[in-house]
Amino acid sequence: MASYDLVVIGTGPGGYVCAVRAAQLGMKVAVVEKNPTLGGTCLNVGCMPSKALLHASEMFEEAAHSFAKMGVSVSAPKLDLPSMMNFKQQGIDGNVKGVDFLMKKNKIDVLKGAGKILGAGKVEVSANGSTQTVETKNIVIATGSDIARLKGIEIDEKRIVSSTGALSLEKVPERLLIIGAGVIGLELGSVWKRLGAEVMVVEFLDRILPGMDGEIAKQFQRILEKQGFAFKLGTKVTAVDTSGKTLLAKVEPAAGGASETIEADVVLVAIGRVPFTDGLGLKEAGVALDNRGRVQIDPHFATTVKGIYAIGDVVAGPMLAHKAEDEGVAVAEIIAGQAGHVNYDVIPGVVYTTPEVSSVGKTEEELKQAGIAYTVGKFPFTANGRSKVNQTTEGFVKILADAKTDRVLGVHIIGREAGEMIHEAAVLMEFGGSAEDLARTCHAHPTRSEAIKEAALAVGKRAIHM
Ligand SMILES: Cc1cc2nc3c(=O)[nH]c(=O)nc-3n(C[C@H](O)[C@H](O)[C@H](O)COP(=O)(O)OP(=O)(O)OC[C@H]3O[C@@H](n4cnc5c(N)ncnc54)[C@H](O)[C@@H]3O)c2cc1C
């Protein structure tokens, strides 16, 4: 029987990164993966394919609407959807191959098949009717998440799709109805809107992007409406009639009331994701779940069974690839006897639309609720030189700092490249920096990042360009 220091079940960003870090620390490591390819949700049906389609569709949109005003005259772009899907697939393949390479480079055994925990120290791997059992000192569960479903609405991945189906539609739907105004719904809505679909988003809550700063979310909604998105907030979809050529979605106010029917060609169910623990044998092994079906862990990622740990989407916390990666590194270091740690107060979040939305730290709503006195500094991209010359002036930077100490508690950006810009705020916050630290840091001119410096100056009411 093969024997390891660590067996990681699942090769998403949590699992494969954990395996690499453990191998770097001298452990003998194997990963178990039930999918034909490594990389998990993120590489195969999540972050990577969605970003490839967001990029390609943005170029399509720019060629049609932005080139001419810059004096670049091209004939109207034509959509070749199969080629766009091929572009997406090449991106996936390249990244998946990269993970294969990392496994080889770090001498990590890849055990293809479904992993089941037989108890502390034993993992069974089954594929195509055959099984093997391996021994291991430690197990990390990194089995990720699955799409959340709506009762009574059957996903067929053709007409009623999850994010997975929405990444591979064979033609642009005339009318796309999206259930859920979260990150995934708005990103995929943007892709199909740019390619020609009419997009309507139905959201149960009375706002979009729940959890993000309310002021930013409001501005974002206005921008998306200008792009042609239609929103029905405080509304729920209760059924979808699939009997005819056109889908008929029954919607009603979230609080109850008269229902109406919305016609659509494709319905995207994007109401979130749920932890995935099917077939792992957790109950028999004594690994407890919390009340939301996530693997229960202590602050050191240890489950209720000694030698078994869990990380990523399958445990509590934001379902984000970089959170899973950082937990993967931390748990490998803890197993190796080091002090692995993740700072959950500084995990950036990004919506990769145009404009992008990014945030790190506390929202204004969270600070109010916690009773923390804060000061706000804001700076619009309309007053940023680089944004003006590029004519991409939508959005603003918002910095929230502690009223007493000036320590930065949250940064929220809506605007082009916001997803890249957020990281200087993350580094500042990791070091417990103040708005004044940020304001006194020299920023290259002309860059969009100067808007962050100006927002930091605005915390002290001394922005220069406003
Ligand atoms: C459309 C979409 C877009 C997204 N975009 C972003 C983004 O831009 N940025 C971001 O940070 N996050 C994004 N996410 C979320 C991100 O994909 C997840 O947070 C991340 O993949 C979680 O990583 P993980 O390692 O915990 O699990 P996963 O990536 O879900 O990987 C789990 C792996 O475990 C395997 N597995 C499960 N059970 C078993 C078993 N019993 N035996 C063997 N293998 C098993 C699965 O096959 C899978 O490969 C997106 C998600 C979606 C759906």
Quick one: pLDDT at residue 108?
Answer: 98
Q: Ligand 1: which atom is nearest the Cα of residue 125?
A: 42
Quick one: pLDDT at residue 232?
Answer: 98
Q: What is the pLDDT of residues 325-335, one digit of tens each?
A: 999 999 999 99
The pTM for the full model equals 0.98
Strand blocks (E) in 277-407: 308-310, 349-351, 356-361, 374-380, 396-402
Domain boundary among 284, 306, 335: 335
Residue 115 placed within a domain: yes
Residue 423 is among the residues annotated as catalytic for this protein: no
Are residues 73 and 182 located together in one domain of the fold?
A: no
Are residues 209 and 292 located together in one domain of the fold?
A: no
Residue 464 placed within a domain: no
Are residues 195 and 171 located together in one domain of the fold?
A: yes
Catalytic residue among 65, 300, 341, 445: 445
Q: What is the pLDDT of residues 8-60, one digit of tens each?
A: 999 999 999 999 999 999 999 999 999 999 999 999 999 999 999 999 999 99
Q: What is the pLDDT of residues 159-200, one digit of tens each?
A: 999 999 999 999 999 999 999 999 999 999 999 999 999 999
Find out whether 190 and 213 touch, Cβ atoms under 8 Å.
Answer: no
Residue 399 placed within a domain: yes
Q: Which helix (H) or strand (E) holds 267?
A: strand 266-269
Are residues 9 and 132 located together in one domain of the fold?
A: yes
**396 is in which domain, residue-wise?**
349-459
Are residues 142 and 8 located together in one domain of the fold?
A: yes
Are residues 285 and 377 located together in one domain of the fold?
A: no
Quick one: pLDDT at residue 131?
Answer: 97
Q: What is the pLDDT of residues 191-228, one digit of tens each?
A: 999 999 999 999 999 999 999 999 999 999 999 999 99
Residue 341 placed within a domain: no
What's the 121 CA to ligand 1 centre distance in angstroms?
25
Are residues 134 and 169 located together in one domain of the fold?
A: no
Is 312 close to ligand 1, i.e. is its CB under 6 Å away?
Answer: yes
Quick one: pLDDT at residue 159?
Answer: 98
Q: Ligand 1: which atom is nearest the Cα of residue 14?
A: 25
Share of the chain above pLDDT 90, in %: 100
First to last CA, the chain: 69
Are residues 56 and 170 located together in one domain of the fold?
A: no
What's the 40 CA to ligand 1 centre distance in angstroms?
5
pLDDT bin (cut points 50, 70, 90) of residue 239 is: very high
CA dist 251 and 57 (Å) reads 29
Residue 343 placed within a domain: no
Total domains in the fold of the chain: 3
Q: What is the pLDDT of residues 110-164, one digit of tens each?
A: 999 999 999 999 999 999 999 999 999 999 999 999 999 999 999 999 999 999 9
Residue 237 placed within a domain: yes
CATH number, domain at 193? 3.50.50.60
What size, in residues, is the chain?
A: 466
